[in-house]
A = this chain, B = another copy of it.
């Protein structure tokens, strides 16, 4: 146990990211100094924002350094502690990165209760994706009962929570997802009113059929053609929360073809990043944990095994090859 496997960024992708952009290294096992803890990662979180960090173009996320351990959310177990905030056996969530072990002074890490809900849920429905869904839905869209809310990437870690919270709020909810299996899950297991398959050759007609009364709120994770179809179905005073544009991260930009829609429909579009709203996290996490514990908020995971699988897992996530929250299990 004297070796700590890590994945570092080896080079920046020009367009599409591939496993070859990462390199596995074996570092000596780190030792916690005074006030520090040693953590063994159990799960890595794979999230779409990571793609932005691989580029050094200006973005909200600061670039991942070449040669440094790839950053990312983790949940792990404290195996040695020189810090009174943590004891051996505690589980902590934070940005532990793509490695088996790491040492930290504990800043930015929080102890979580692994008995109330499954450990990895703190990386998903009761973590960054859950809070992202909670913020965009409640603080930007703010749906009224009877309004129609559309969410893209509806089976994903964020989209699945958006739709379920919107249903709880009394809205009619229409998802957009890729393929009949994901759509069936969104409708039948998550309880959305409808789900439209963006891979269908009849996508435009099916969107029209699913939205006979237009849409009042859009939670956008994807961009591209699904977004273009939603623009055609906006009601007056629609609110659009822009959370992600995964279709544009490695492809053509998503455009808004005519700004007159703002006047004709009096719409509001707001982009957000949940890290800008840290004061709201405790409230959001409490509400999400309570909905999970009561069984009202359901979720699904795609779990890959072993640190070495992380680069391909990220590639697959960006191509829509996951089903629910994408995780890598290390232990």
Contact = CB atoms under 8 A, between A and B. Distances in A.
B255 A266 contact: no
A279 interface: no
Contacts of A202: none
Interface stretch (A7-15, A89-97, A268-276, A301-309): A268-276
B253 A255 contact: no
A257 interface: yes
A112 interface: no
Interface in A69-117: none
Nearest to A242: B262
A125 B260 CA distance: 25
B253 A257 contact: yes
A259 interface: yes
B266 A271 contact: yes
Contacts of A268: 268-271
Nearest to A272: B266
A58 interface: yes
Interface of A: 58-60, 223, 227, 242, 244-245, 248, 253-273, 276
22 contacts: A58-B264, A59-B260, A59-B264, A60-B264, A242-B259, A242-B263, A248-B258, A248-B260, A253-B258, A254-B259, A254-B260, A255-B255, A256-B256, A262-B269, A262-B271, A263-B273, A265-B271, A266-B270, A266-B276, A268-B268, A268-B270, A269-B269
